[in-house]
Amino acid sequence: MTEHAKPLPVADADTAPFWDGAKAGKLVVKSCLDCGKAHFYPRALCPHCHSDRLEWIEAKGTGEIHTFTIARRGAGKAFEREAPYAVAIVQLDEGPRMLSNVVTDDVEAVRIGQRVTVVFAEADEGVVLPKFRLAD
Amino acid sequence: MNPRQPVIVGVADQPLVNGMTPDGATPLAIQARTAKWALDEAGLSLSDVDGLLTAGMWGVPGPGQLPTVTLSEYLGVFPRFSDSTNIGGSAFEAHLGHAAMAIERGVCDVALICYGSAQRSERSRNLGGRAPVLTMQFEAPFGMPTPVGGYAMAAMRHMYEYGTTSEQLAEIAVAARAWARLNPAATARDPLSIADVLSSPMISDPLHLRDCCLVTDGGGAVVVTTLERARDLKTKPVVIRGFGECQTHWTVGQMPDFARLIPAERSAAAAFAMAGVTPAEIDVVEAYDSFTITVLMTLEALGFCKRGEGGAFVTGQRTAPGGAFPMNTNGGGLSYAHPGMYGLFLMVEAVRQLRGEAGERQVADAGIALCHGTGGTLSSGATVILSKD
């Protein structure tokens, strides 16, 4: 990877189903068969009750902006040309929070509490990143 | 008092010129000479050292992967106790607690805590270009500015929940600068106003450039031994009264509560309980100031004000020289120096205040000091409470 290429996720045994799901247009998260809570990022044990009885579920892809920032300079050379852009913590309706981008032409209008919907954005090398747009 | 009561008997830090080590010293050389200075002032030498503690970001991948092993080799000492706990910039407050336990238990007699960094000279601050593996695969691909973005998200949420303002955050940077103006060793000493902070470029909303710490070289050392041994040494011992630590997350998306600093709440509760003192008894506070929001959330978590009231608490230059709440009296990471990990400097300044050596910036009658380190992205906290003998 050169300094100017955007970093791509290095999928592993814990996370491959998540990235494969994104490629297929699905947002999948792990959920616990014992306590019933979903979690993100995917782990071998439930971070809420530490059970190892977990399943993958498809999330609705809807949620709310819990907090966010506008990167005015970009994270390193790879993101310099994109700035300003919005990085947000999205709270999915299933409960877990995930860090992503709000894809918008007007970063100044992004606010905490706004409803968002997942969009699947193609990155380099066929990788697909789940991002979010403001809900209609 | 217990003859094996752990005390600090030596401190030192590397003088900087424009935020850089003037002779281009390596992180190892900076640690070696500041260690020598800190031992010298106590009347000890490197041959007395049998405990070695360090953390850093130098030499990775490479010799920095085993930092105490590399440093003991470089110094020519064979420690029987070592600790390279790395929980971010708060590691050094954690080290002090660990050194205190080792000394009290008789595992070692003279512990040396070190830090060195040449990040400014080497331009090595940017860790970009490394593939995001394991947990970081969920952050780096989205252009998360690190570490400022996580602090910015916490500030945004704190503003949303409690109405905290950019002006209130700026109060913290302005107060730190006022202290730095009293400290000839500080890096940034030009006058700074709230308007200056607010008109500085936005880096990651809502944090401006002047809400962010400096990027400098630097290093230092802290020497810990027993009270019994300290009776024969040259410095006035500073007693380690209490300590605590906690960590919750590193990946920003996993921060349990964006408007609340849980690691600091827990580490401070442990330290206050061990010391048997209350927040009202603390005379001087050294609180890790990577960003202005770090301080505001720390003050709430340590119990100096209620949750959500940090903004009101710092208003009116309360933490500045002459204010009711002296804090970050060397100028802090915002104006003194910030060589990547700042925690060691909190303790160096607290010791100088408790010994009454702080010159123009001396806090009158400073008897009890609290240092609180924050590491990672509001990830870890470590608190130490120190007092005069």
pLDDT (tens digit per residue) in B167-219:
999 999 999 999 999 999 999 999 999 999 999 999 999 999 999 999 999 99
**Cβ-contact A66, A89 below 8 angstroms:** yes
Q: Which of A8, A69, A75 sits opposite B152 (nearest CB)?
A: A69
What values do phi and psi take at B290, rounded to 5? -60, -40
Mean per-residue pLDDT over chain B, rounded: 97
Looking at beta carbons, which residues of chain A come within 8 Å of B135?
Answer: 41
Measure B162 CA to nearest chain A CA, in Å: 13
Whether ipTM exceeds 0.90: yes
Distance of CA A47 to the CA centre of its chain: 18
Mutate which: A1, A48, A67, A111, vs B, most B CBs within 10 A: A67
Interchain CB distance below 8 Å, B143 and A78: yes
Interchain CB distance below 8 Å, A76 and B129: yes
Nearest CA in chain B to A1: B129
Nearest by Cα to B155 from B214, B209, B206: B206
What values do phi and psi take at B381, rounded to 5? -135, 145
pLDDT computed for residue B123 by the predictor: 76
Interchain CB distance below 8 Å, A112 and B160: yes
Interface check for A67 against chain B (CB to CB < 8 A): the answer is yes
pLDDT computed for residue B1 by the predictor: 79
pLDDT computed for residue B128 by the predictor: 54
- 3-class DSSP assignment, residue A71: strand
Residue with tokens 């580490």: B267
Interface check for A104 against chain B (CB to CB < 8 A): the answer is no
Q: Which of B138, B142, B258 sits opposite A41 (nearest CB)?
A: B138
pLDDT computed for residue B122 by the predictor: 86
How many CB contacts within 8 angstroms connect chain A with chain B? 123
3-state secondary structure chain B: CCCCCEEEEEEEECCCECCECCCCCCHHHHHHHHHHHHHHHHCCCHHHCCEEEECCCCCCCCHHHCHHHHHHHHHCCCCCEEECCCCCCCHHHHHHHHHHHHHHCCCCCCEEEEEEECHHHHCCCCCCCCCCCHHHHHCHHHCCCCCHHHHHHHHHHHHHHHCCCHHHHHHHHHHHHHHHCCCCCCCCCCCCCHHHHHHCCEEECCEEHHHECCCCCEEEEEEEEEHHHHCCCCCCCEEEEEEEEEECCCCHHHCCCCCCCHHHHHHHHHHHHHHCCCHHHCCEEEECCCEHHHHHHHHHHHCCCCCCCHHHHHCCCCCCCCCCCCECCCCHHHHCCCCCCCHHHHHHHHHHHHHCCCHHHCCCCCCEEEEEEEECCCCEEEEEEEEEC
Interchain CB distance below 8 Å, A129 and B142: yes
B10 Cβ neighbours under 8 A, 6+ residues apart: B37, B38, B39, B40, B41, B42, B44, B221, B222, B223, B235
Distance in angstroms (rounded) separating the CA atoms of residues B281 and A85: 45
Interchain CB distance below 8 Å, A7 and B140: yes
* Binned average pLDDT, 10 residues per bin, chain B of 389 residues: 95 97 96 98 98 96 96 98 98 98 98 97 67 94 96 98 98 98 98 98 98 97 98 98 98 97 98 98 98 98 98 98 98 98 98 98 98 98 98
Looking at beta carbons, which residues of chain B come within 8 Å of A66?
Answer: 157, 258
Which amino acid is located at B73 in the chain? E
pLDDT computed for residue B130 by the predictor: 75
Nearest by Cα to B48 from B87, B97, B10, B4: B10
Share of chain B above pLDDT 90, in %: 97
Interface check for A109 against chain B (CB to CB < 8 A): the answer is no
Furthest-apart CA pair in chain B: how many Å? 57
Interchain CB distance below 8 Å, A67 and B258: yes
| Terminal-to-terminal C-alpha distance of chain A | 37
Other CB atoms closer than 10 Å to residue B279's CB: what's the count? 14
pLDDT computed for residue A36 by the predictor: 98
Looking at beta carbons, which residues of chain A come within 8 Å of B250?
Answer: none
Interchain CB distance below 8 Å, B149 and A87: yes
Polymer length of chain A: 136
Nearest CA in chain B to A48: B256
Interchain CB distance below 8 Å, A87 and B143: yes
Interchain CB distance below 8 Å, A41 and B135: yes
Tens of pLDDT, residue by residue, chain A (136 residues): 455 789 999 999 999 999 999 999 999 999 999 999 999 999 999 999 999 999 999 999 999 999 999 999 999 889 999 999 999 999 999 999 999 999 999 999 999 999 999 999 999 999 999 999 999 8
